[in-house]
Amino acid sequence: MSASRNTRWFGRASLAVIIVATVAGGWRLLQASRARDFVQASVPVRPDLTGWTSLLAGNLTTAEGATKELFGAPEGLVRLSRIYHANGFYPEAMACYGALQELQPGVARWYHLPVSILAGFGRLDDAAIMATAAIELAPDYLPARLRRGDILTKLNRDDEAGAVYEAVLTLEPGNVYALLGLARLAMREENWTQARQRLQQATAEDPNFIGALSLLVSVERKLGHERAADAVQLRMDGREFVDFSDPWLDETMNECVDAYRLSVAAAVARAAGKPSQAKAYLQRAILLDPVSSAYLRQLGRLELSQRDFSGARFSLEKAVEVDSEDSESWLQLIEAYKTMGDTVAANQAITKGLARCPESRGLHLAEGRRLNESNQKRRALAHFQEAYRLKPSEPDPLIEIAGVWFTLGRNDEALQALHEALLKEPGHPMAQATLCYFAISTGDVVEADQWWKRVVDQIKTPAEMRERLRQTYRSKFGREPSL
């Protein structure tokens, strides 16, 4: 091929490439323009933001601005959906999700994220449809399957719900939430044996899973296993149920500017064993509302549980500085000082706290205990009595009052206080154990046996307390206590 022919060939090829590129570029430009126009038509009318931080308005302005960009409009709409969802503007969030479903029909999260909103408004049938679409697009995303299973259970579509939970177990054997779902379905059919099996599987996977433990108590009682139910009850230890992790939903919280919502999310994250995430939420809440002691107190409590003593001390001291009349912050600070072994600082905090919060039952109890430990019985008694006056429905001050009266040799007054505590809270472990101890110490074997039975039957009685009473009984009467 001659040089001139080569030149003509390459010239025609180059021209073809330019034409193709121009056409492709024009097509992308046209598509981007159409997407921008669609997004612009879909942007929700901004709601009333009265009472909200200016940060929210600023974030909305930035996201709305992005929706006007030729190639950034979809991302702007995505951010708008997260801002509205994270801050509780659900109609606006739903409008964004509806537009995103049309714009990006193959993206599962635009179907999954509306599910929790629809379910929250009681639109379970719509939520189930949306959850089905999410699963079809993202079959491996287990939170979508679990969400659908729970919704179908609420709709009494038990066979479908059971199939969903079984599918989850196929993908992730031992998933505790799927096992919990199947246990609930078995309980609905009064198949207590099968429910027990599912719940035991769940607790074997996670011994602290409160969802399974709480149901297992009921199932064991239905089967007549009272002792087993009591043993499970002891394992619950005041824990709260935590929903399954949903990373797509969690991502929306990055746009939250509501301090209270962040504090709730922090509590959920902490209960789910995610302290770092909880701390990040609380730090943002504090930045948003620096004059609220509640979030500082919550952060201090979290840091204390993580044995971050310097962090806890700083947060809690800041909390009482921000609001010196917040008695709960004083009490948390006192606990922190004691945990750190700083008794002097703890005692000073009690004094300062009471000066600022003279109507705090908890601080009067703390002062009474401090005085009692230093053998200032009469002064301690006065604070315990004041704590009782401030909240007469609570039995704890009466237990403390009884202890002082016993020390002062005023047994009748002590016994009266203990019986009154039992009227406030029947079965109070400390009241019953103290009455049992008193009966043993006075040699009243009949009374001791009666109280011993109540102590043993009370599942909240600490094991070490029962053992001490048993040893005292054996030492006094030369035999094991009767049941």
Interatomic CA distance for residues 37 and 99, integer angstroms: 12
pLDDT recorded at residue 19: 42
Query: Is the pLDDT reported for residue 32 higher than 80?
Result: no
pLDDT recorded at residue 20: 39
Determine the average pLDDT of the residues in 256-274.
92
Looking at domain 256-358, its CATH superfamily turns out to be: Tetratricopeptide repeat domain (1.25.40.10)
pLDDT recorded at residue 72: 81
Q: How far is CA 286 from CA 115, 175, 290, 380, in A?
A: 30, 35, 5, 37
**Helix, strand or coil, per DSSP, at residue 108:** coil
pLDDT recorded at residue 96: 96
Determine the average pLDDT of the residues in 39-64.
93
What are the DSSP calls for 218-260, one per residue?
Answer: HHHHHTT-HHHHHHHHHHHTT----PPP-HHHHHHGGG---HH
Query: Is the pLDDT reported for residue 87 higher than 60?
Result: yes
User: pLDDT per residue over 212-237, tens digit each?
Assistant: 999 999 999 999 998 888 888 888 87
**Helix, strand or coil, per DSSP, at residue 68:** coil
Determine the average pLDDT of the residues in 192-216.
94
Query: Is the pLDDT reported for residue 177 higher than 60?
Result: yes
Query: Is the pLDDT reported for residue 258 higher than 80?
Result: yes
For all residues of the chain together, what is the average pLDDT?
91
Tell if the pTM clears 0.85, that is, is over it: no
Interatomic CA distance for residues 318 and 303, integer angstroms: 14
Whether 433 contacts 469, CB under 8 Å: yes
Determine the average pLDDT of the residues in 232-257.
87
**Taken in order 364, 366, 372, 376, is the CA torsion positive or negative?**
negative
- The percentage of residues in the chain with a pLDDT greater than 90, rounded to a whole number, is 82
**Helix, strand or coil, per DSSP, at residue 207:** coil
Residue 81 or residue 3, greater confidence: 81
Residue closest to 165 by CA, chosen among 152, 155, 179, 151: 179
User: pLDDT per residue over 133-149, tens digit each?
Assistant: 999 999 999 999 999 99
Interatomic CA distance for residues 430 and 418, integer angstroms: 9
CB atoms within 10 A of CB 272: 14
pLDDT recorded at residue 6: 54
Query: Is the pLDDT reported for residue 73 higher than 50?
Result: yes
pLDDT recorded at residue 34: 81
Query: Is the pLDDT reported for residue 338 higher than 50?
Result: yes
pLDDT recorded at residue 17: 43
Determine the average pLDDT of the residues in 294-306.
96
Determine the average pLDDT of the residues in 119-124.
95
Is residue 341 very low, low, confident or very high in pLDDT (cuts 50, 70, 90)? very high
Query: Is the pLDDT reported for residue 24 higher than 50?
Result: no
Query: Is the pLDDT reported for residue 15 higher than 80?
Result: no
Whether 372 contacts 404, CB under 8 Å: yes
Query: Is the pLDDT reported for residue 50 higher than 50?
Result: yes
Is residue 42 very low, low, confident or very high in pLDDT (cuts 50, 70, 90)? confident
Is residue 4 very low, low, confident or very high in pLDDT (cuts 50, 70, 90)? low
Determine the average pLDDT of the residues in 349-359.
96
What are the DSSP calls for 345-368, one per residue?
Answer: HHHHHHHHHHHH-TT-HHHHHHHH
Query: Is the pLDDT reported for residue 13 higher than 70?
Result: no
pLDDT recorded at residue 2: 53
Interatomic CA distance for residues 10 and 7, integer angstroms: 5
| Domain segments of the chain as ranges | 256-358
Determine the average pLDDT of the residues in 193-200.
96
